[in-house]
Every structure is written in C-alpha cells, then in structure tokens.
Structure 1
Amino acid sequence: MSTVTRIPVTRLTVLYDAQCALCVHLRNWLLRQRQLVPLDLVPAGSDEARRRYPRLDHARTMREITVIGDKGQIYGGPAAWVVCLWALADHRPKAHWLATPAGSPFVRVTMLAAAKYREATGAGAGAGVAPPCDDRCSVPG
C-alpha cells in the first residue's frame, strides 16, 4: 500500500489579469469574502509577480488563471478556480463538489463563459500587456 504525502496550504497567491474588467471584479469579490486560507492577489505579468516567481511562465499566467500555494503548488485552469473557492469559508463545500466528476462540467462552463466575455470585451489586450484572451485553449475538452 502506498501513502500520499499531503502538503498543507496555508496561503495562496492568485495571479489575475489587471487589464480585464471581469478579472478585476473577481479579484475584488475574492477580497470581500471571509478567507480560510489567506489570498494574495497579484497582477499577472507584473514586476511583483516576476519577483515572487521568477521561473514561472508569466506569458501563460496572462492567458490562464494561475494560483500558487505557499509550498510551491501551482494550480492552473479549472483547478485554480476551484482552489480559490476552496480558500473561502462560505464556498469550500461547493469547491469540494466542483472538484468531483459531477461538478467539473460546471467549472468548464464557467471558464468558457469567462473566456467568451474576455474575448468579446478584448480583455487582456489593453495597454499592450498581453495578446487577446485565449483562455479556451486551457479548458479541457
């Protein structure tokens, strides 16, 4: 029998697109929630993000939500959305359900809707920071 070593997460950093109105809205929403695990919200591709995580693919963080745990865990795409909810007191039970096969289609639909919104609004293309949003590539088929 093999054992799985679990590394507890005690703090998370959420890299968000500061040029995207939807991403900024979600950042502000996250900050208003009661957090079981503290969240640091840092603009993706910023000097601060590059200083904290010099070996991270920062171009990818502009296309796909990325969450980094304090022990080096990296969550991207659907897992990143779920871990953000998991960190919140009022949303942890929902996060557990979204992480199941029954809940994963809802995460996928949410990500597709966000990608469509970002595409329609040109989010991520502002100020020459990143190419137009291409979140769809990170959504599992």
Structure 2
Amino acid sequence: MARPTYRLPVRRLTLLYDAHCPLCVHLRHWLTRQPQLVPIDPVPAASQEARRRFPDLDHGTTLKEITVIGDGGQIYRGTAAWIVCLWALAEHRPKAHWLSTPAGAPFARVSVLAASKYRELTAAPCEGACEVPAASH
C-alpha cells in the first residue's frame, strides 16, 4: 500500500537574493514593504548567514537564479520562486495563482527571463565574495 504524501504548509519563506544586483535589491525592498500573508525573510545569497541557515544548499546556484526556501524545506527556483514570493503577499496572491496556470505561465517565464537578462547586465561580479555588511541590508 502506498503511503500518502503530506504537503507541509508554508508559514515562512527565506528569499536568497543577489545583494550585488540593483534590481534584486530593489525587489527585495519592494517585497518587504508589501503586506505579507506569509513572512518573507530576505538573506543575501551565498552569504555567511545563508550558508549557516542552509548548509546543504548549492550556494553557487543561488547566485545564478532567485531561490526561495520554505520553512518546511521546500525549495523554489527561478519562475516558481518569484511566484511563491507573490503568493506570500496579501495584494498579489490572486496574481500568483494566475501566473501558475497554463495561461499565466508564459508571462511569469518572460518576466523572470527579462529580470535575469537585466541582472546579467547590471550586477557587479561576485568573484566568490558576496558577503554584504549587515548594515547595508
């Protein structure tokens, strides 16, 4: 007999963002100013804090694409990460649901690809040292 799978509810999210990317920092500030249904904790990707919280995570990958970690160990990357961030916001949850449908998925994908391209053109090179002083975030 197959064991049932249980989904853990998401009660808190950690957003790993590139602290060297102007767009990422802007979006981090925007997200934290929004009314949240699920709290979002922004942490610079590949920082000592990120490594302490998630020692088994591939931190190099978190610098290449947006990564969000749920308090139950859920890992969201790329388009799914952006959608789950919107899902956590009171005013944007309906939009997140729509973006996760077949009709909305192309819009979500294009938005993430455009942000990725902008990030590629504007972010300072990390060179393995992406720690940010605590006062700057």
The two structures have a TM-score, normalised by structure 2, of 0.88
Give the match for residue 12 of structure 1: 13
Deviation of the 1:89 alpha carbon? 0.0
The answer to whether the 8 Å contact 1:37/1:87 transfers is: yes
Q: Deviations over 1:1-35 (max 9, x none)?
A: x8652210000000000000000000000010000
- In the other structure, the counterpart of 1:59 is 60
Report 1 or 2 for greater relative contact order, CA contacts < 8 Å, sequence distance ≥ 6.
2
1:47-78 deviation digits (Å, cap 9, x = unpaired): 00000000000000000100000010011111
How do 1:1-141 and structure 2 match up within 5 A? 4-121=5-122, 123-126=123-126, 128-129=127-128
RMSD of aligned residue pairs (Cα, Å): 1.5
Give the Cα–Cα distance (whole angstroms) in 1 for the partners of residues 65 and 117 of structure 2: 13
Identity among equivalent positions (%) equals: 69
**Alpha-carbon distance in 2 for matches of 1:120, 1:10:** 34
Letter in 2 for 1:42: V
Count of aligned residue pairs for this structure pair: 127
Corresponding residue of 2:134: none
SS at match of 2:49: helix
**Runs of 5+ consecutive residues of structure 1 not aligned to the other structure:** 131-141
Where do 4+ consecutive residues of structure 1 move more than 6 Å? none
Unaligned runs of 5+ in 2: 130-137
**Local SS of the residue matching 1:35:** coil
